[in-house]
Structure 1
Amino acid sequence: MRSPHRFLVSFHRTRGGLLAARLGERAFLALPSKSGGLSVASAHHVNKPPEEWRPSDFHIFERLLEDEAAFRRHVVEIADHERQLLTLDRREFKSSAVTPWGAAQISQVYDQGVVFHSTASHGGFHLDEERNALVHPAYRDADGYYEEDCEWAKVAATLPLLFTDYEQICADQTLRDWEPDAYEIVNNVVLGRGESYTKDVRRFRLDHARDWLVISAIKSRQRSGLVECVATLGGDRRGKERRFLVPEAEYDSGRHGFVIDPARHQTYDGPSSFVGWAG
């Protein structure tokens, strides 16, 4: 029998002033991000009181959240997710099914005709013909295979009763971020600024089509305190490249990219810290 304490959430404050949370044997820490907001760090079995937790105790960095209130909601959602998983009839079995990602090693039946396959390298869902016909045409893959990074969200959006509330929230955000055109068709909406990563990147590139956008950056070994940046106009990786030096304290790739200010950021054609640079 599973202990009910496994799902209890408690919040704490470290001696360093960071908000922390414990969920069963899992630990979470809210770390300030250079780009704003809080980065969620997590770990298992941190064997010391939460007040003594340090960032070095954590090794998984999950996502970026707006503030401490969002961090608290996030941890509670995970607790609810783990409770709901116990109510779902998912059955795991060894498998050798052939998938687009190779031979399956472990498979999990979510429902009749809905199977998740894990291979040595990747994985994803396979829907039989009847279930695949339920997927909206804007989302549907003709072969019924939906890889695990993004396309799994199409399955969750189609068959929500097979997924936890948290998984549905993640699926909705995944489709907003990476399939915005299809999402707008399926949901009859227009996603605004801040509602889709992909659409925001498009807008950012259009707004800065005539600016130098960094496509690669590395801490300079030749110029202390500076970051060596490779940039192209509009961030076009096929375009002409130019190098710049940006102060370390100023450089932040941000959510969509760093914009070079030629009036302040020095062009550079000296020895490079990039391996193989032939500029």
Structure 2
Amino acid sequence: MAPARDGRHYLVTGWRIRRPMAEWTRSDFYGHAGELADEAAFRAHVEQNALHQQQRAGATVYAEGVAAHSRAGHGGFHLSAERNRKVHDMLRANGGWYEEDCHWAAVPQAFPQLFTDFEKACAETTIRDWYPDAWEAIHGRMLEPGQSY
């Protein structure tokens, strides 16, 4: 909760700010999630978010046979055998486990109806950059020089 003009406050987002709080400035933050009326509203928001994260711990089921797993330090998707057979063969993982770093992108590529436009765009970029041969096979065209890492 950061003070703003006219006695207003915002819920702000920062990362690895190493200075004492008294020295923080607006440029230390990269985003905000709206205005907060007071400290009570801030505490209520933090408690709500903590409960949300606690309830999400473990698995989030996107659809039958498609689950996202989140664990301390790592996670990814697990697909049932039936769902896994629908993943493009150049992206398919034996056993249906797709780690969160880059292989996860195979899941929204195979099941776009389960994901947001943002998630699908991130998956598209990830496949293009990390699996360019698969991207070309899926799209039926060659990448131009500089279109992927």
Q: TM-score range by the shorter chain?
A: 0.5 to 0.7
Task: Could you tell me which runs of 5 or more consecutive residues in structure 2 were left unpaired when the two chains were aligned.
Answer: 1-9, 16-24, 32-53
- Bigger radius of gyration among the two: 1
Which residue pairs with 1:163 in the alignment? 115
Q: CA RMSD in A?
A: 2.5
Out of 78, 93, 109, the residue aligned to residue 126 of structure 1 is: 78
- The correspondence of residues 207-218 of structure 1 with structure 2, limited to 5 A, is none
Structure number with the higher helix fraction is 2
Which residue pairs with 1:149 in the alignment? 101
Q: CA deviation at 1:43?
A: 4.6
Structure-2 change in CA distance of 1:173 and 1:26 (3 Å)? farther
Which residue pairs with 1:57 in the alignment? 29
CA shift digits 1:170-200 (9 cap, x unpaired): 1100100111111112221111123101xxx
Partner Cα distance (2:109, 2:92) in 1: 11
Structure number with the higher strand fraction is 1
Q: CA deviation at 1:136?
A: 1.0
- The correspondence of residues 31-180 of structure 1 with structure 2, limited to 5 A, is 43=14, 54-58=26-30, 106-180=58-132
Is the Cα contact below 8 Å between 1:93 and 1:108 reproduced in 2? no
CA shift digits 1:245-279 (9 cap, x unpaired): xxxxxxxxxxxxxxxxxxxxxxxxxxxxxxxxxxx
Structure-2 change in CA distance of 1:137 and 1:119 (3 Å)? same
TM-score computed with the length of structure 2 as normaliser: 0.64
Q: CA deviation at 1:93?
A: 5.8
SS at match of 1:107: strand
Higher relative contact order (CA 8 A, sep 6+): 2
SS at match of 1:155: helix
Identity of aligned residues (%): 45
TM-score computed with the length of structure 1 as normaliser: 0.36
CA shift digits 1:134-165 (9 cap, x unpaired): 01111111210000111111000000000001
SS at match of 2:68: strand
Task: Could you tell me which runs of 5 or more consecutive residues in structure 1 were left unpaired when the two chains were aligned.
Answer: 1-24, 28-41, 45-52, 60-91, 95-104, 198-279
Q: CA deviation at 1:114?
A: 0.3
Q: CA deviation at 1:54?
A: 3.8
Q: How many residues align?
A: 109
Which residue pairs with 1:187 in the alignment? 139
Structure-2 change in CA distance of 1:54 and 1:107 (3 Å)? same
Partner Cα distance (1:109, 1:145) in 2: 14
